[in-house]
């Protein structure tokens, strides 16, 4: 099967890798970036990677990095299977549920890879709406209403990309239990955990009938490490995942796993920086929406690094995003997510200059 064009990545690559690059990146869904030097200095003593042997790592990941991941999610290290980013974790999960006629239930809107990868692996996809015409919200009842006899897996992304809504852990528990009665697994994508703007929330890891995937790219702001993981309490299912990874990528890099473990051990410094940047920029973004003279509406972010405002008059946002890029501000058009009147704005990547980017957007409005 031929993969469809990845419209979001094509849009981002057009500007992020241009010469000169875009001035203000509000299309990114990651936190503020790090250099290798800054990462290795976390904790003060410095991290020496010079003596790491450049050999294969265990397919499930080295114990040190799995222990660090487990502490991040309040889980057992034995439950952790490492992956090359959450993208490989997702591919492994989809591969293991693939069978003739099987369906995967995914959110709408959603990260485009969910549907594309599922369909490439021979799965059919069905969507459940994240909210309605007046805004976005998760509902376990609405998700269950979309389940059919052919549903093999339900995907829940919370905090959600692109809308920033959150499903409370208690409701995840209710949803997972109801799906268990139908022998359907719940996959919870937690790449934006633990960035919340209300009460903090525990990871869904450990909830019965839940498998969690996550990575270092989003909340941990380290996409260049290409390090992700699956958390699965069931030993039999976990062994199938390890076997699949042996076929997919053999193993991770011991260098990247070493850096990943170091980052997770010192995660509080990374997460504190992310929270400060996100909250500061979110206040400026809220002022932009409020001052748009009714042109824009949104669901205020509950967690994560992105939001999905929309033009009230229903216009296609791509011309506006093109004009914003010409003014030096990169925003992702909503058609990349199948919702042309929306815009995805990332508010946590740009640690400096966000105020100027907001001024330029306001001038265009």
Which CATH number belongs to the domain containing residue 106 in this structure?
3.40.640.10
- Residues 6 or more apart whose CB falls under 8 angstroms from that of 311 comprise 295, 296, 317, 320, 341, 342
Tell me the CA distances in angstroms from 64 to 13, 254, 257, 290, one per residue in order. Answer: 34, 11, 8, 47
* Residue at a domain's end among 249, 266, 283: 266
- Residues 6 or more apart whose CB falls under 8 angstroms from that of 33 comprise 221, 349
How confident is residue 20, by pLDDT bands cut at 50, 70 and 90?
Answer: confident
User: Is 133's pLDDT higher than 80?
Assistant: no
- Residues 6 or more apart whose CB falls under 8 angstroms from that of 132 comprise none
| 305 and 281 assigned to the same domain | yes
How confident is residue 16, by pLDDT bands cut at 50, 70 and 90?
Answer: confident
| 210 and 282 assigned to the same domain | no
Full residue range of the structural domain in which residue 314 is found: 7-36+268-364
Average pLDDT, the chain: 96
User: Is 110's pLDDT higher than 90?
Assistant: yes
Total domains in the chain come to 2
Q: Are the CB atoms for 243 and 194 separated by under 8 Å?
A: no
| 161 and 224 assigned to the same domain | yes
| 14 and 70 assigned to the same domain | no
Model confidence pTM above 0.85: yes
In a domain, residue 217? The reply is yes
| 78 and 29 assigned to the same domain | no
| 259 and 272 assigned to the same domain | no
pLDDT of 46 reads: 83
Question: Which CATH number do you get for residue 29?
Answer: 3.90.1150.10
- Residues 6 or more apart whose CB falls under 8 angstroms from that of 25 comprise 16, 330, 346, 349, 350
How confident is residue 9, by pLDDT bands cut at 50, 70 and 90?
Answer: very high
pLDDT of 351 reads: 96
For residue 126, give the nearest of 153, 151, 105, 109 by alpha carbon. Answer: 105
pLDDT of 244 reads: 98
Q: Are the CB atoms for 120 and 112 separated by under 8 Å?
A: no
């Amino acid at each position: 099967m031929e993969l469809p064009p990845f419209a979001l990545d094509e849009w981002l690559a057009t500007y992020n890798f241009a010469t000169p690059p875009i001035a203000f990146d509000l299309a990114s869904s990651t936190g503020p970036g790090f250099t290798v030097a800054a990462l290795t200095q976390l904790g003060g003593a410095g991290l020496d990677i010079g003596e790491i042997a450049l050999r294969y790592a265990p397919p499930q990941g080295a114990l040190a990095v799995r222990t660090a991941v487990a502490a991040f999610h309040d889980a057992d290290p034995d439950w952790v299977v490492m992956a090359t980013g959450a993208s490989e974790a997702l591919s492994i999960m989809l591969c293991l549920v693939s069978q003739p006629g099987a369906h995967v239930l995914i959110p709408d809107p959603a990260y485009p890879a969910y549907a594309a990868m599922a369909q490439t692996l021979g799965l059919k996809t069905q969507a459940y709406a994240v909210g309605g015409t007046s805004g976005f919200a998760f509902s376990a009842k609405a998700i269950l209403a979309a389940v059919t006899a052919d549903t093999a897996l339900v995907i829940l992304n919370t905090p959600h990309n692109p809308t920033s809504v959150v499903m409370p852990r208690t409701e995840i528990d209710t949803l997972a239990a109801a799906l268990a009665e139908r022998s359907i697994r719940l996959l919870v994508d937690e790449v934006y955990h633990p960035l919340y703007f209300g009460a903090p929330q525990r990871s869904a890891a450990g909830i019965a009938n839940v498998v969690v995937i996550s990575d270092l790219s989003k909340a941990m702001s380290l996409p260049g490490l290409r390090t992700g993981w699956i958390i699965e309490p069931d030993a039999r299912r976990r062994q199938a995942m390890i076997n699949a990874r042996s076929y997919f990528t053999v193993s991770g890099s011991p260098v990247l796993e070493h850096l990943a473990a170091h980052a997770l051990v010192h995660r509080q410094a990374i997460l504190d920086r992310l929270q400060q940047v996100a909250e500061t920029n979110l206040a400026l973004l809220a002022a932009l929406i409020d001052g748009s003279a009714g042109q824009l509406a949104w669901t205020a972010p509950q967690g994560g690094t992105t939001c999905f405002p929309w033009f009230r008059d229903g216009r296609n946002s791509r011309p506006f995003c093109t004009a914003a890029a010409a003014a030096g501000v990169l925003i992702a058009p909503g058609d990349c997510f199948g919702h042309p009147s929306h815009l995805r704005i990332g508010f946590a990547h740009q640690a400096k200059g966000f105020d100027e980017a907001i001024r330029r957007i306001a001038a265009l409005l």
